[in-house]
């Protein structure tokens, strides 16, 4: 079976839906406020402070450390020299610590997924739990001087890590988890009509489509703001969100953006929202990119 076919089989396992819902609900209970919206811990684990999802960075720790364990275990076996054992065991322990951190950040990111993303994410997590268990057992064997059993257990664990890593890569590159969901199309550089001025009232959030680019128009304190309408986090419709004081909150998972510069006021998104310049001419609200390039 080809890898792509195998991924499709996993994605189609609808029986994973029920456990996914239960686990995601439990994670959300811990990481989101009872009134809705993420807690500071949720923002931290998602990497809002870093401007980049934290999970993919932390996954490098167990994968790298356990690769070192594999290499040193191999050298110990080939050479028969026991002096590789300290390095192998230390790397194994570091990998376990890194795997726990990666699991926490991964759960924070995964709780916001739905459908195929969620099923694939759960499979990825289960494989990692098995790998973590195997590496824990390997460490116990090593501490009890059963190095042969410890090496075999670690080798099996490495197999689970590789499969899980492949699925993790597909979640990012295939399912677009952890990447910006801002559409690729860009506004023309020149002023574009967006909406009649008298159709946007104080406190309104309205969606306009300009050259196939969805734009959010907002009027607050008689000032007109324009931002990308599709939420960078997972594509939520900001025009259906909530207006706050100089901010808009996404209706899907509560990311909050400043109206004037699109900066993140709270996550889970790690990507700011693009903003556009606005003006009113002849009764029309017009929009163009901020800092447009001079026309040739």
Q: Which is nearer to ligand FES, 236 or 272 (CB)?
A: 236
Q: Which is nearer to ligand FES, 183 or 235 (CB)?
A: 235
Residue 250 binds ligand FES (CB under 6 A)? yes
- Give me the least distance between CB of 102 and ligand FES, in Å please: 21
Phi, then psi, of 243 in degrees rounded to 5: -90, 130
Residue 234 binds ligand FES (CB under 6 A)? yes
Residue 256 binds ligand FES (CB under 6 A)? no
Residues touching ligand FES, count (CB under 6 A):
13
Binding segment for ligand FES (CB under 6 A), chosen from 9-17, 134-142, 231-239, 286-294, is 231-239
Q: Which is nearer to ligand FES, 119 or 253 (CB)?
A: 253
Residue 252 binds ligand FES (CB under 6 A)? yes
Residue 255 binds ligand FES (CB under 6 A)? yes
Could you say which residues in the range 120-159 bind ligand FES, by CB under 6 A? none
Angle at 172 between CA 234 and CA 266, to 5 degrees: 40
- Give me the least distance between CB of 135 and ligand FES, in Å please: 33
d(CA 6, CA 286): 49
Q: Which is nearer to ligand FES, 91 or 231 (CB)?
A: 231
Q: Which is nearer to ligand FES, 235 or 244 (CB)?
A: 235
Q: Which residue in the set 142, 253, 258, 288 belongs to the binding site for ligand FES (CB under 6 A)?
A: 253
Note the residues at the interface with ligand FES (CB under 6 A).
112, 231, 233-236, 250, 252-255, 268-269
């Amino acid at each position: 079976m080809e890898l792509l076919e195998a991924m499709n089989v996993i994605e189609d396992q609808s029986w994973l839906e029920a456990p996914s819902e239960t686990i995601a609900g439990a994670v959300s209970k811990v990481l989101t406020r009872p009134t809705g919206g993420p807690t500071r811990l949720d923002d931290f684990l998602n990497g809002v402070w870093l401007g980049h999802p934290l999970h993919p960075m932390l996954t490098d720790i167990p994968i790298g450390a356990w690769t070192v364990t594999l290499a040193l275990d191999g050298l110990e076996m080939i050479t028969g020299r026991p002096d590789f054992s300290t390095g192998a065991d230390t790397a194994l322990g570091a990998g376990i610590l890194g795997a726990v951190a990666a699991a926490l950040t991964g759960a924070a990111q995964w709780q916001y997924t739905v459908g195929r993303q969620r099923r694939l994410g759960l499979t990825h997590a289960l494989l990692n739990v098995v790998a973590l268990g195997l590496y824990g057992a390997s460490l116990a064997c090593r501490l009890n001087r059963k190095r042969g059993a410890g090496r075999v257990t670690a080798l099996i664990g490495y197999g689970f890590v590789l499969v899980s890593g492949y699925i993790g890569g597909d979640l990012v590159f295939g399912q677009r988890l952890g990447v910006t969901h801002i559409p690729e199309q860009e506004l023309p550089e020149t002023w574009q009509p967006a909406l009649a001025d008298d159709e946007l009232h104080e406190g309104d959030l309205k969606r306009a489509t300009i050259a196939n680019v969805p734009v959010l128009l907002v009027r607050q304190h008689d000032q007109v703001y324009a931002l990308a309408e599709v939420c960078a986090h997972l594509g939520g419709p900001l025009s259906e969100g909530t207006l706050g004081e100089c901010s808009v909150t996404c209706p899907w998972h509560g990311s909050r953006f400043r109206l004037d510069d699109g900066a993140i006021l709270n996550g889970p998104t790690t990507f700011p929202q693009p903003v556009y310049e606005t003006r009113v001419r002849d009764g029309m609200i017009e929009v163009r990119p901020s800092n447009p390039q001079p026309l040739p």
